[in-house]
Amino acid sequence: MPVKGMRTILFKPSPSTSPARSIPHRQTFSDTLMDENIENAQELISKWDVTHSSSLHCDVTNLFASDNRYEARQYLNSIKDLQIAMQYYISQEPTSDKLVLAQNLMQIAMKRLEKEFYIILKSKRQHLDPESVSRATRSSVSEFDDESEEDGESRSVGEDSISEVELVSMAAMEDLKAIAECMIGAGYGKECVKIFKIIRKSIVDEALYHLMNFESRLSSAQIQKMDWEVLEVKIKTWLNAVKVAVKTLFYGERVLCDKVFSSSPSMKESCFADITREGALSLFVFPENVAKCKKAPERIFRTLDLYEAIADLWTEIEPIFDLESTSTIRQQAINSLIKLGEAALAMLTEFETAISKFNSKAAVPGGGIHPLTRYVMNYITFLIDYSGVLTDILVDWPLTVPSYLPEAFFGSPMSADGTSTSAISIRLAWLILVMLCKLDGNAEIYKDVALSYLFLANNLQYVVNKVQKSNLKLLLGDEWIEKHEAKVRQYASNYERMGWNKVFAALPDANDNQMTTPQVTECFKRFNSSFEDAYNKQATWVVSDSKLRDHLKVSVASKIVPVYREFYGKYRQVVARKEGVVRFAPDDLGNYLSDLLFGTGDSGSNLSSSSSSSVSSVTSSSGHSRGGRSR
């Protein structure tokens, strides 16, 4: 190496001793690449510049139209390249004119994307409605599962199964997602979110308005002032609306927000919360306001409908609104459940009180079914349809039963297999007991003791039948039914004893074979009188249950007819010539008894006159018999 060259290298002046001068930036390979990024981006961004384009192309054509798909992707890629170039110049040459150019191009590009984002949200509205989004999302998930299991040929068949609407929805979501990611990456996420919230909130609010078909923001005071018939119509509307709102509207909106803003958890949460909060709170506060209305017993069924609707949807409500910013919506749904449960409990208590305070001095004609019995049992039977939600409500409110009442009256808290009886079983059994106690008091209205027992038998049999023919049987159990059937038999036996005791007493002793003619005459007259009295008295009495009615008549007949038949056959000839002594043939008794307990009173209106034919026939037949024997 020449000495001069060596000196130049070894004795190079240090920076501190060299004269100050400006060193021009040398163009590097990286500079060249970044410049190319800016140039390529400038060409494409200028083409779609909404403010300075000399061509009308960008005004009449959408960048993300179906025929511009490739160019739209190029546009997004050019923005990413532009970002890289900007970051490069910020770190390498922050005063470069290229950096200024890149920043201007980025602003132009963001305006374009902002416009495209708005256009897609508006023009594809029908394909971005919650139902379409929900269906498209489920189809895409199903398609993904199919693709993971099937071969290529099967996948092509699966793609054909996705409808055109679903394909458009999926494409629109993908475009929105791509634009959002690009704008968020460029620091323009707020502008993107603002557009999304405004448009989507109007769509959700409008959908809720049409679903509810009434002003969903009704105040508690407005609801409480409504007539129940009007409010009941609104409850029915709400019950239909809440299912669609949760399963489709809110679910679809959550899917859309998660999809479009998947690159920013905070933004997707903010969007979904701000879009749905107002509508969801209005939707879920409605049941709470209804729960504040008058606690009339007949309103319990609609109250339980509301409770059941929220409870059934809770497994979907919770994951949809599982974000911290939507916790108020979850809490409102829970509050409505609590208030509805409390209202239902208050209505049950009011129902029990109404039974206890029921006061009627009018006796039911013929000892038939009391209106209270029908009302209470129909009410309780309808409650069985809500046994699931009632169990949830009553489990925290155990029934307090007076200690002096035996468990047999209302059911044991322990079932036969040793497991705890459900709270609803005990509660309903208690309501039935309260009603039966009230009926015991009503039975005292009847002046005839036999009729009071018939009244109790009738009504308890009605209760047992209602239990056996409904799901009450599963709740109250066989033991409860057996105990109350035994009670029916006891009432029936008491009716029989008190209603027919004089007739039974009028029958002669079967072992008395030494009766004189006057004794026979007196026995027939005493029987005639007692039977006529019992029959005429009971002609208007009624037993509604055909099996119980037949049982009573067969039982009475079995105690009267055989004994009378034997006495009649032995002594009728002794008094055959005495008119009016033998009033009834044995078969007549069976016929008369068969006419009883229908409550018509026709056949028993005048038993004395109607039985005169029997007298004639008996006398006539006796005469013929004697004549026949004399011959």
SS (H, E, C) 480-508: HHHHHHHHHHHHHHHHHHHHHHHHHHHCC
Please give the residue that has the higher pLDDT: either 286 or 161. Answer: 286
- Outline where 20-68 has alpha helix (H): 29-47, 57-60
Answer whether 262's CB lies under 8 Å from 139's CB: no
pLDDT of residue 85: 74
Query: Which two structure tokens, joined as six digits, stand for 206?
Result: 């409008």
State the Cα–Cα distance between residues 267 and 176, nearest whole angstrom: 14
Answer whether 435's CB lies under 8 Å from 355's CB: yes
pLDDT of residue 44: 79
Domain boundaries, the chain: 189-357, 366-413+420-497, 499-595
Average per-residue pLDDT for the chain: 80
CA angle 74, 78, 84 (to 5 degrees): 150
Q: Which of 60-64, 310-314, 458-462, 556-560 is the least confident region?
A: 60-64
Query: Where on the phi/psi map is residue 415: left (φ > 0), alpha (ψ -120 to 50), or beta?
Result: beta
Q: Which CATH superfamily is domain 499-595 in?
A: Exocyst complex component Exo70 (1.20.1280.170)
Query: Is residue 1's pLDDT more than 50?
Result: no
pLDDT digits over 568-616, tens only? 888 777 776 677 778 888 888 888 998 888 877 654 445 654 554 444 4
* Percentage of the chain lying above the pLDDT 90 cut: 46
User: Average pLDDT in the 307-327 region?
Assistant: 96
pLDDT digits over 471-516, tens only? 999 999 999 999 999 999 999 999 999 999 998 988 887 666 677 7
DSSP assignment string, 324-376: GGGHHHHHHHHHHHHHHHHHHHHHHHHHHHHHHH----SPPGGG---HHHHHH
pLDDT range class, residue 291, cuts 50, 70, 90: very high
Please give the residue that has the higher pLDDT: either 297 or 149. Answer: 297
State the Cα–Cα distance between residues 447 and 454, nearest whole angstrom: 12
Answer whether 330's CB lies under 8 Å from 338's CB: no
pLDDT of residue 407: 55
pLDDT digits over 541-554, tens only? 999 999 999 999 99
Query: Which two structure tokens, joined as six digits, stand for 277?
Result: 């909060």
State the Cα–Cα distance between residues 397 and 341, nearest whole angstrom: 10
- Percent of the chain that is helix, strand, coil (3-state, to 5): 75, 0, 25
pLDDT digits over 146-187, tens only? 444 444 444 444 444 567 777 888 888 999 999 999 999 888
